[in-house]
Amino acid sequence: MRIQMRIRRFNPEADSKPWWGEYWVDVEESDRVLDALHQVKWYQDGTLTLRRSCAHGICGSDAMVINGRNALACKVLMQDVGDVCQVEPLRSMPLIKDLVVDMEPFFAKYRAVLPYLINDDLPAEGERYQSQEDRARYDDTTKCILCAACTTSCPSFWANEDYIGPAAIVQAHRFIFDNRDAAADLRLRVLNDVDGVWRCRTVFNCVQACPREIDVTRAIGEVKLALMNGLED
């Protein structure tokens, strides 16, 4: 089938502001939006620039706005985009070129929540034990691939780019609710900041945007409850 691609273009070396590029591609219904973008890049305009790697929704490189919604280009099929497929870079991120945005501010917020297990109390030999129930407590938030689809879909983030954002909260949740970790209070202190978890207005855009189907708003809610009531043992 023949589909029109409308792609938001910007070349920092030539353009003063972004513009819409229009291209026609022949694709199969089962092709991904990423395949259509590759068709444009490989056979029509080699200057089209995007990030991608694994092409099956695991590496998190190709988050972008597709027909108005945040998604991974490798996880949206052409049969689901209608007659015109409109593709833009993630919102509220510094634009570098075409569909490529500067990810550094996003990763800085990730690093701010101390995203690593803190616990020096190790068993003399073998593994630490953890019950299946305790392991299940934080399973959902271990799925995060740091693609930034959630954070850049959030109206609170659009309004205030200092908001730490859902992705960083998801990463914090993964450790706060892991009973092997001993530094929940440090992370909760970061999230209790004026630009922390309270900026969330439960709009649920993040849940819709997450390509890993993480229940992001629920995770944020659990962090809020932990701040109000303390962590249950």
Q: Using CB under 8 A, list all residues that contact another protein.
A: 11-14, 30, 38, 41-43, 45-47, 49-50, 52-61, 75, 77, 96-98, 100, 103, 107, 111, 114-119, 122, 125-132, 135, 138-139, 142-143, 145-146, 175, 178, 180-181, 213
Closest distance to another protein from the beta carbon of 118 (Å): 8
Closest distance to another protein from the beta carbon of 83 (Å): 21
The token duo for 32 is 């991904």
Nearer to another protein, 147 or 197 (CB): 147
Closest distance to another protein from the beta carbon of 126 (Å): 6
Report how many helices (DSSP H) and strands (DSSP E) the chain contains, helices first.
8, 7
The token duo for 58 is 């695991």
Tell how strand 84-88 and strand 2-9 pair up. Answer: parallel
Please state, in angstroms and rounded to a whole number, the distance separating the CA atoms of residues 169 and 26.
41
The token duo for 113 is 């929540």
Nearer to another protein, 54 or 159 (CB): 54
> What phi, psi does 96 have (nearest 5°)?
-100, -60
Pick from 41, 109, 47: nearest CA to 73: 41
Closest distance to another protein from the beta carbon of 114 (Å): 8
Nearer to another protein, 45 or 195 (CB): 45
